[in-house]
Amino acid sequence: MIVRSTDGTLIFGESFRTSKARGALLVVHGMGEHGGRYDELVEHALKLRFDVHVMDLRGHGRSAGTRGHFTDISQHHEDLDAWIAHLVTTGELSDAMPCVLLGHSLGGLIALTYAAKYVARPLAPQLSGLVLSAPLLGLKLSPLKLVEAQVARNIPTFLRSIQVPSGIKASDLSHDKDEVERYLQDPMVHSWITPAAYIAIERALGTLPKIFPQLGIPTFFMLSGKDKVVDTAAAQAFANKLSIAHPGRVEVKLFHSFFHEPFHELRRERAFLELKKWILACILMSSPPDPAKKGSSKSSGRGATAKGTSP
């Protein structure tokens, strides 16, 4: 499936369907990768009878655009708008079933900022929940990275689309050597970012304090304790503040031994189990009350309320 975004950029998306679907999962990947790396996540979601829709970000995978380049996070929001509008038009998405948005790493930042805008608009379908996997809510800056960041901020505008190495190391993504090798051998994975994209990420991070009042949907944070790519402490701090703003709507799971990619780790079955539990709870929260069951209500079930950790 190819959709045309607001500025004409062609965005690739792929859909996986199950019989008698009871929900839909929208997946937004991270920097330098593509939606095809989430096959195992797709399999688990289909077993839950969730249709899955995966989009390649602009400048990534099978979507058009300079590799690793964008000038503002709103470009990704417009791409998501076009993608979701197409899914609604074709009948793939509707208000008849829960719809969960999942973003990993950069995709987590995109999904979070998008959801904060999306929930305030009268659009179909309404988002039932948000999953943030190792979200990029803070940058890990070494002394060298600080110098590179300063250079990116001060580089002339006409040079801001040049490609430079992103600095992401495959060995920092997972303890699973087979997964690391697949990443290295994947022809659609790239290691590029542009100064414009870096500046856009910094600008998006600066908007996070404004999101707390806007985001009231159930939100699940899946954080990695040994993450060397994004700042887990920043994500935990954001989750804590969001929980204060919206009591009972936030759940946090910290996988202490994991590197950056929970769904590609050696013990990833733990990540899939926690995701399954949360999604099922999210369905209970978003399902209308059954009048045949006395005392039933929208808030029945465990709900996405508890804050906790996984070993």
Is the residue at 306 inside a domain?
no
The model's confidence at residue 193, banded by pLDDT at 50, 70 and 90, is very high
The model's confidence at residue 146, banded by pLDDT at 50, 70 and 90, is low
pLDDT exceeds cutoff 80 at 287 = no
Whether the CB-CB separation of 250 and 132 falls below 8 Å is answered with no
Is the residue at 20 inside a domain?
yes
The contacts of residue 191 (CB under 8 Å, 6+ apart) are 32, 165, 166, 168
Q: What is the pLDDT of residue 204?
A: 97
Domain that holds residue 93: 2-286
Is the residue at 303 inside a domain?
no
3-state SS record for 31-79: CCCCHHHHHHHHHHHHHCCEEEEEECCCCCCCCCCCCCCCCCHHHHHHH
Predicted TM-score (pTM) of the model is: 0.90
Is the residue at 235 inside a domain?
yes
Mean per-residue pLDDT of the chain:
89
Q: What is the CATH number of the domain that holds 143?
A: 3.40.50.1820
| Number of domains, the chain | 1
Is the residue at 269 inside a domain?
yes
Is the residue at 296 inside a domain?
no
Is the residue at 210 inside a domain?
yes
Q: Give per-residue pLDDT as tens, 2-30.
A: 999 999 999 999 999 999 999 999 999 99
pLDDT exceeds cutoff 60 at 308 = no
What are residue 27's DSSP bridge partners? 54, 102
Is the residue at 21 inside a domain?
yes
Q: What is the pLDDT of residue 130?
A: 97
Using omega within 30 degrees of 0 as the cis cutoff, is the peptide bond preceding 195 cis?
no
